[in-house]
Structure 1
């Protein structure tokens, strides 16, 4: 059991912990209330739904299994093991959600990436261009979530280099390139309309 718990602890020490941080060129909103002129949801595609549902079900089943063993054996070791499993699995489910993209907004100052915690702004003055991009599996996660509540954090992507992704739907991706060299990929519910609204704000949009 000790070896199993150790492996569970290692598997839960995933890179989404570092993915929760803000991108280096982003402006944190903090307590600042910045209403969006236009807001677009961040819907899950089928793969994100499947990964998220499977992980949630699997981790809850793990807790249920250890609970059954602890109550059946009624030994202190079983209850300690259950406590360790709960301490590891519950944050694994909750913390990534708090930092996952829930919506994308167009404000008077920039593009808003809305998250339950630590929403941030990509200022217009820093944006070079915005364009559609296609999903590729030719890349690696550096500090990122790879499907649980979406793909968000820092990725190394073939042909693009390093990019901060905030994607919940792989068919709706937009690449934002900035003067500081930081790249973002987001997935608003209607990327075409999103680009049109950005263009009306004076942002350079390719493909329109």
Structure 2
């Protein structure tokens, strides 16, 4: 004959963990882990007569044409660790230590065909436009406008 043995009642920890409120908090926390990187991820770059606008989902970052010292194609970059902001889920944004030992401010979605912009600041910008060659040409035209206006 089979004998049935019920499980013991839940202890305090089990009761807390199985509480619907705890489940809601866990779901919201996971949602924030995904939402915050999405909000600050790069969405595109706009070259304007005044400089470059790095468009993020909720905000933007501006690089004045007067602060741009040089721009060049650098190809693939080997990333190191992200120091600030985010990396991975929806792109890369913020200050990064690179495998080469240098630092860069990265606003990109991939590490291939990168464009490096050197400004007055020590750390360069690394961007990943879909068409890096035309992006560089457009920014260099800003330099002609800048030098032609002086």
TM-score range, shorter-chain basis? 0.7 to 0.9
Q: CA deviation at 1:76?
A: 7.8
Listed one character per residue, the Cα deviations across residues 71-108 of structure 1 (whole Å, up to 9, x for unaligned) are xxx98833132122122111111121111110101011
Gaps of at least 5 residues in structure 1 are 1-73, 204-208
Q: Which runs of 4+ in 1 moved over 6 A?
A: none
Listed one character per residue, the Cα deviations across residues 19-41 of structure 1 (whole Å, up to 9, x for unaligned) are xxxxxxxxxxxxxxxxxxxxxxx
Q: CA deviation at 1:182?
A: 3.2
Cα distance in 1 for partners of 2:142, 2:101 equals 26
1:104 has 2:45 as partner: yes
Aligned-residue CA RMSD (Å): 2.3
- Larger RCO (CA within 8 A; separation ≥ 6): 1
* TM-score under structure 2 length normalisation: 0.77
Cα distance in 2 for partners of 1:89, 1:126 equals 39
173-182 vs 77-86, which deviates more?
77-86
Secondary structure of 2:85's counterpart equals strand
Cα distance in 2 for partners of 1:137, 1:161 equals 11
- How many aligned positions are there? 131
Q: 1:144–1:155: 8 Å Cα contact kept in structure 2?
A: no
| Higher percent of residues as strand | 2
* TM-score under structure 1 length normalisation: 0.57
Cα distance in 1 for partners of 2:79, 2:127 equals 18
Gaps of at least 5 residues in structure 2 are 1-14, 145-150
| Higher percent of residues as helix | 1
- Please say which structure displays the higher CA radius of gyration: 2
